[in-house]
Amino acid sequence: MRSEPKTVAIIGAGSWGTALAQHLGSKGISIRLWVFEPELLASLQDRHENLVFLPGVKLSRHITFTDDLGEAVTDQHNVIMAVPSHVYRQVLTSLAPHLSPGVTLVSATKGIETDSLLTMEGLVREVLGPETAYAVLSGPSFAVEVANRQPTAVTVASRSRPVATRIQRLFSSPYLRVYSSYDVTGVELGGALKNVMALGAGILEGLELGANPRAALITRGLAEISRLAVRLGANPMTLAGLAGLGDLVLSCTSRLSRNYQVGLQLGQGKKLAEILKDMQMVAEGLKTAGAAYHLARKLGVEMPIVEQMYRILYEDHSPQDAIKRLMTRELKDEIDAISLTW
């Protein structure tokens, strides 16, 4: 069994990348954290605190900061990608010439690329080649809570059992319990699609519609996520686990979720452009809603909630109209309506 690495590179200094750096740094691992924004880099080097994306957390002295991709990953055998999905391909392409042979790439990004409709694993296979050692980390985990060592459970998935086990051990600690999985497809799609449902849950709160519709959204949302994931080869049990139901419940019930916050403001009557103008962080569900809508149509998978979220975000339909359309659809048997291939 390999010993724990002495150094790890993390690409992306948003809230999640910074929290993972803090977590691994607290285990005594030296972290090279790549920072895109020049102003943020200067602040991190001066204050050793991410005032933009993770304020209030004094960062480990085991973390060093750089804006040079080559410097970040030189001689690194474990590279964690924590950049937004819409820049993932661009950053990975720039990173590729600097990666060491035999590198393991760990994705901490939750999304689907809009143009190609690929998950992050698909992008990695296209850019780096099909033999690249790859793992994905996902599950119900707000960055600030992980950084503050609050008990959290997540999942790491890889198609290689040795890789899954190794990355599981890398991230595990007394306050971060990591389960292993070999269902990369299910873990990635669960993490990406829950953001779309979180937008919807926020809308419901913004409209002050109570707890009943939120419970319905979570339940029927899980059915939709499972339908698409299983259609693409996922194990349906994965969607009942941390990366599926766990992450869905977290994001649909807490105002710490960026996607929930965007939905909340939409429900209160704000326009999307107005909301985004004041946001510094990325709400992945906005782009994922479009990608999921087109992917479902391409595959012939019924996803009515995703469809209505697409109408709200991209066709300026009102939330009230979307709810009416969902509630007055043709009546169905609940189990038949799930239609999973077990």
From CA 78, how far away is CA 74, in angstroms rounded?
11
From CA 248, how far away is CA 194, in angstroms rounded?
5
Backbone phi, psi, residue 112, to 5°: -130, 135
From CA 140, how far away is CA 154, in angstroms rounded?
6
Known catalytic residue at 271: no
> In the block, which residue shows the tokens 């926020």?
202
Both tokens assigned to 181: 């999985």
* Residue 144: C-alpha distances to residues 1, 56, 171, 212, 225 (Å): 32, 9, 16, 29, 26
CA terminus-to-terminus distance, the chain: 35
Yes or no: say if 54 and 141 are a contact pair by the CB < 8 Å rule: no
Ramachandran bin of 259, using left for φ above 0, alpha for ψ from -120 to 50, beta for the remaining angles: alpha
Q: How big is the chain, counted in residues?
A: 342
3-state helix, strand, coil in the chain (%, to 5): 55, 15, 35
Pairing of strands 176-181, 152-157: parallel
Number of Cβ atoms within 10 Å of the Cβ of 212 = 9
Angle at 68 between CA 112 and CA 37, to 5 degrees: 65
From CA 26, how far away is CA 150, in angstroms rounded?
13
Backbone phi, psi, residue 104, to 5°: -105, 125
Yes or no: say if 33 and 18 are a contact pair by the CB < 8 Å rule: yes
Tell me which of 27, 58, 110, 194 is the catalytic residue.
194
From CA 62, how far away is CA 262, in angstroms rounded?
34
Active-site amino acid positions: 194
